[in-house]
Every structure is written in structure tokens, then in C-alpha cells.
Amino acid sequence: QVHLVESGGGSVQAGGSLRLSCVASESTYNYYMAWFRQSPGKEREGVAAIDSVGRTSYADSVKGRFTISKDNALNTLYLQMDSLKPEDTAMYFCAADRGQLSAIQALGVIAYFGYWGQGTQVTVSS
């Protein structure tokens, strides 16, 4: 069973940037992975996904501002977040599972992911 540990969250002013990292306990070479977020009182939503061949997919709300990437040599998933907005404030979760699911198929579908991190908090002030 793979373990996922997120880091990089924090507090930033609107317009600022953060980079989240998610380190896996084993090789992510044949995994599809994603970032989700959840705010108090709201459902968990998909932010970005990347598949085993490096294709990516993004939620409309973050397109052009967030970039997902994966370093298989380091077993690490990243989320570069630029031009942050107060509405980006949430707990961000890393998720993963083995297989050939494409990023477009995986984006936002919680049921496709069997492994989850504990989350890292991102707070954006106006």
C-alpha cells in the first residue's frame, strides 16, 4: 500500500504563489495521480490530474494558474499554484492509484483513487 505525504501549504496573499509537494512511499511510474481540495461545508473537488504518461487535465477554475507535474525519480507529485485567489483557500489532498486511466478520465472522480494523503492547508487572503 502506497503512502502519500503532502507539504508546501501555507498562508499567502492574493496574487501570490505556492508549490505543493506529495511524496509517495514507492515508485509512481505506473500511477495516475491528482490533487483535490475541500473547503469547510463544501464537497471535495478535483483540481488537477496527471496520468502515467504525463498527460494533464485541470478544473476550469484553475486553468492557466495551476500546473501539475510528477517526478517519477523522486516519487513526487507537485502542484505549482500561481495567481492565487481567496477562493483557492482549502485543504489540498494528493491522491493516486495504479493503472492506465487518462488524466481527463481521472480528474475529479474520487472513486478512482484508492490512496490519499492527509492534506495540506492553503489559505489565500485578499
Residues ≥6 apart with Cβ < 8 Å to 34: 46, 47, 48, 49, 50, 68, 94, 95, 96, 106, 107, 108, 113
Q: Residue range 78-99: average pLDDT?
A: 97
Q: What percent of the chain has pLDDT over 70?
A: 100
Of 53, 41, 61, 40, give the one whose Cα is nearest residue 108: 61
Among 4-13, 83-92, 103-112, the range scoring the smallest mean pLDDT is: 103-112
pLDDT digits (tens, 9 = 90+) for 55-87: 999 999 999 999 999 999 999 999 999 999 999
7/28: higher pLDDT: 7
- Pairwise CA distance, residues 61 & 72, whole Å: 27
